[in-house]
Chain A
Amino acid sequence: MTDSIASAFTSIWNNKARSFLTVLGVVIGVASVTTLIALGQGLRNDVSSIVKDLGTNMIAVTSGKIDLENSEHQGMNPASMISSTILTMQDFSDIANNPKVEVASPMGIISKPVKYGDKTATPTIIGCYPEVTQVLDVMKLESGSVFERRDSGNEIVLNYLTRKRLFGDSDPVGQTVMIGDREFTVVGSLEKALENGIGAEYNNMALIPFDTATEINAGQIAMNRIIAKIGNAEEVKTAKQEIFDTLLVNHRGVEEFTVLTQDDILDMFDSILGLITTMVSAIAAISLIVGGIGIMNIMLVTVTERTKEIGLRKAVGAAQHAILSQFLIEAIVITLLGGLIGLGIAVVATQLIEARSTLHPAVTWEVVLTAIGISTVIGVAFGIWPAMRAARKDPIEALRYE
């Protein structure tokens, strides 16, 4: 075994240029597959940390049905998602009164610009209860405070981007801004929530009292979503079921809403990301097959070139399996070297991506082992046939070969 490995290295070293060209396909294949897997892995990590950062033990109820189980109906109906008329005050009070729910708030969206002097900003204005910041951990106050009640009148908590746009770096608390023809007093402003692309919508949510939002909405209740925080982490699942059952009764058995936990949201992202990663990696894997064919080709040439050596080794006592394993090990050593070079390139590539974009590709042990595993499999798969040809050579014929 050690003899075979040493012999493989000698043979590779003696044909440096040829070995390099041979492994190039494997290098490119492994580099691209591992980079893509690392990107996918990084994206998953990002999503999961963002979802976790939103709040702990959170349950969100949205209008519209998202089918997580049935792939045929997977996805969501965008019309029902933005509809604000399905969830009712009854739904909200039932959820808020559930003993497992610590705190809850409805969320209704108002689409109007916010003005300060001659400057305009277009945040997503959310009509909500002051408790919203207790549910959503991402919302932290930079200065001031949240309005005290759902009917606190024309008060607003500015989000990071709007504050930046309208007030620059100065403190907006106590200033007056305009939404339509209403004057709002700024009572607080929020910290920048998340750096990242996916969670960035939270940088763009300004908060106003729920009743004020209803007034702006011409008396119609705007409730796109209800969010709730469950007191005990172990009760999240049962609370989800209870909320679902209650709402099903309220909606006379029509499942026109969705109750999601953070795990559900994660699963949803996971399955989408998993699918994309698999597809893209599969395309990159084509280059691995091409690389493997290159290995097979050069191994066949090597076997022919070394016919006499094979004959000699057989004469001095090598059985078929010894010759087989010698050439198989040589193929594996070549592809493994290619795999390690590819892995090195992938590590450099992911660091470049990390430095130059907002993505955080993760080269985990999983990724490293995948790269090593792939190259070993390629070595075996494409090395076995040439190795078998070598092993089956007749020693007399082989010794006579010129």
Chain B
Amino acid sequence: MNLIELNNISKQFKMGSTTVNALSDISLTIQKGEMVAITGPSGSGKTTLMNIIGLLDRPTGGEYRLGNQLISMDMSDQKLARLRSEKIGFVFQTFNLLPRLSALGNVLLPTSYCRAKRTDRKSRAIQLLTLVGLEKRIQHRPAELSGGERQRIAIARALINDPDIILADEPTGNLDSKTGREIISLLAKLNEEEGKTVLIITHDDKVSAKCQRSIRILDGQLDSRKLEEHD
């Protein structure tokens, strides 16, 4: 089943009088349950692609289907926000935890914006913190935790609303290589055991090698020569 389907997606930015083509003519599909790496040098447009897939940005051309939902270019801010909260969990390079909240508070944050209010949200958050191995750090604040631990909180936070997709933008970029490997293993475990579709943006070949396949972006276009299948 196609979870993500992009047809001829393009994105143009206006910079003064010149128009920059950040993405042109991207067509790709990602199946439910896949773990896919999106790679490419910096400035290639992979972050723009992730923003569009993550519904933070709208394409200027083409068609985007998420599940059975057609994402139109004039979809309201509120509709996009709701889809984000239901379908997508973000993991960022810089973790983006709120420093004044505990690990638990950070994991619970997305539930304030979710329409389907869960009565058991706190116990679910604790369950998720246990899943990522932080059951002893529930009341700690981010400043008291290591980088790897912070990224684990971020992963638990991405999972709290039970999304279809986890979008990870350079999740290992701020971690040492050993911790980075552990985070990728955790994402792989979520993919295998929980059936989550995982998209990882990375320029680290060791990371992309852990994924089932890689999509390479170059100058805003799919680099068809390097479409790889891993195993």
Given the complex, which residues of B lie within 8 Å of A312, measured CB to CB?
96, 98, 109
* A396:B51 contact, CB within 8 angstroms: yes
* A309:B78 contact, CB within 8 angstroms: no
Contact of B82 among A4, A10, A317 (CB under 8 A): A317
* B110:A316 contact, CB within 8 angstroms: yes
Given the complex, which residues of B lie within 8 Å of A3, measured CB to CB?
112
Binding site for A on B (CB under 8 A): 51, 54, 56-57, 77-78, 81-82, 84-86, 90, 92, 96, 98, 100-101, 109-110, 112-114, 157, 161
Total chain A interface residues with beta-carbon distance under 8 A: 22
* A315:B113 contact, CB within 8 angstroms: no
Q: How far is the CA of A317 from the CA of B83 in the complex (A)?
A: 8
Binding site for B on A (CB under 8 A): 3-4, 10-11, 14, 308-309, 311-322, 395-396, 399
Q: How far is the CB of A333 from chain B (nearest CB, A)?
A: 15
Given contacts A316-B90, A316-B157, A319-B77, contact A11 B113 (CB under 8 A): no
Q: How far is the CB of B99 from chain A (nearest CB, A)?
A: 9
20 A–B contact pairs at CB < 8 A?
A3-B112, A10-B101, A11-B100, A309-B98, A311-B96, A312-B98, A314-B81, A314-B84, A315-B56, A316-B84, A316-B90, A316-B157, A317-B81, A317-B85, A317-B114, A317-B161, A319-B81, A322-B81, A396-B51, A396-B57
A313, A316, A322 interface centre (most CB from chain B within 10 Å): A316
Q: How far is the CA of A311 from the CA of B92 in the complex (A)?
A: 12
Q: How far is the CA of A318 from the CA of B80 in the complex (A)?
A: 10
Q: How far is the CA of A315 from the CA of B161 in the complex (A)?
A: 13
Q: How far is the CB of B132 from chain A (nearest CB, A)?
A: 17
Given contacts A3-B112, A322-B113, contact A317 B92 (CB under 8 A): no
Pick the 9 closest A-B CB pairs, nearest first: A317-B85, A317-B113, A319-B81, A316-B110, A3-B112, A319-B78, A318-B113, A312-B96, A395-B56
Q: How far is the CA of A396 from the CA of B47 in the complex (A)?
A: 10
Smallest Cβ-Cβ distance to B85: which chain A residue: A317
Q: How far is the CA of A314 from the CA of B77 in the complex (A)?
A: 10
Q: How far is the CB of A9 from chain B (nearest CB, A)?
A: 11
Q: How far is the CB of B170 from chain A (nearest CB, A)?
A: 13
A3, A313, A315, A399 interface centre (most CB from chain B within 10 Å): A315
Smallest Cβ-Cβ distance to B101: which chain A residue: A10
Q: How far is the CA of A319 from the CA of B114 in the complex (A)?
A: 10
* B110:A320 contact, CB within 8 angstroms: no
Given the complex, which residues of B lie within 8 Å of A10, measured CB to CB?
100-101
Given the complex, which residues of A lie within 8 Å of B90, measured CB to CB?
315-316
Given contacts A319-B77, A319-B82, A399-B96, contact A313 B109 (CB under 8 A): yes
Smallest Cβ-Cβ distance to A11: which chain B residue: B100
Given the complex, which residues of B lie within 8 Å of A396, measured CB to CB?
51, 56-57
Given the complex, which residues of A lie within 8 Å of B161, measured CB to CB?
317
Given contacts A313-B113, A396-B51, contact A318 B96 (CB under 8 A): no
Q: Is the contact region of chain A dominated by helix, strand, or loop, or is it mixed?
A: helix
* A317:B78 contact, CB within 8 angstroms: no
Q: How far is the CA of A325 from the CA of B229 in the complex (A)?
A: 47
* A316:B113 contact, CB within 8 angstroms: yes
Given contacts A3-B112, A396-B57, contact A317 B84 (CB under 8 A): yes
Q: How far is the CA of A396 from the CA of B92 in the complex (A)?
A: 12
Q: How far is the CB of B42 from chain A (nearest CB, A)?
A: 13
Smallest Cβ-Cβ distance to B111: which chain A residue: A3
Given the complex, which residues of B lie within 8 Å of A319, measured CB to CB?
77-78, 81-82, 113
Q: How far is the CB of B174 from chain A (nearest CB, A)?
A: 13
Q: How far is the CB of B53 from chain A (nearest CB, A)?
A: 13
Given the complex, which residues of A lie within 8 Å of B77, measured CB to CB?
319-320
Contact of B85 among A11, A14, A311, A316 (CB under 8 A): A316
* Sample of 17 more A-B contacts, CB < 8 Å, known A4-B112, A312-B96: A10-B100, A10-B101, A11-B100, A313-B113, A314-B81, A315-B56, A316-B85, A317-B86, A317-B113, A317-B114, A318-B81, A319-B82, A319-B113, A320-B81, A396-B51, A396-B56, A396-B57
Given the complex, which residues of B lie within 8 Å of A321, measured CB to CB?
78
* A399:B84 contact, CB within 8 angstroms: no
Given the complex, which residues of B lie within 8 Å of A320, measured CB to CB?
77-78, 81
Given the complex, which residues of A lie within 8 Å of B54, measured CB to CB?
315
Q: How far is the CA of A302 from the CA of B51 in the complex (A)?
A: 26
Given the complex, which residues of A lie within 8 Å of B81, measured CB to CB?
314, 317-320, 322
Given the complex, which residues of A lie within 8 Å of B113, measured CB to CB?
313, 316-319, 322
* B96:A308 contact, CB within 8 angstroms: yes
Given the complex, which residues of A lie within 8 Å of B96, measured CB to CB?
308, 311-312, 315, 399
Contact of B110 among A11, A317, A399 (CB under 8 A): A317
Q: How far is the CB of B210 from chain A (nearest CB, A)?
A: 24
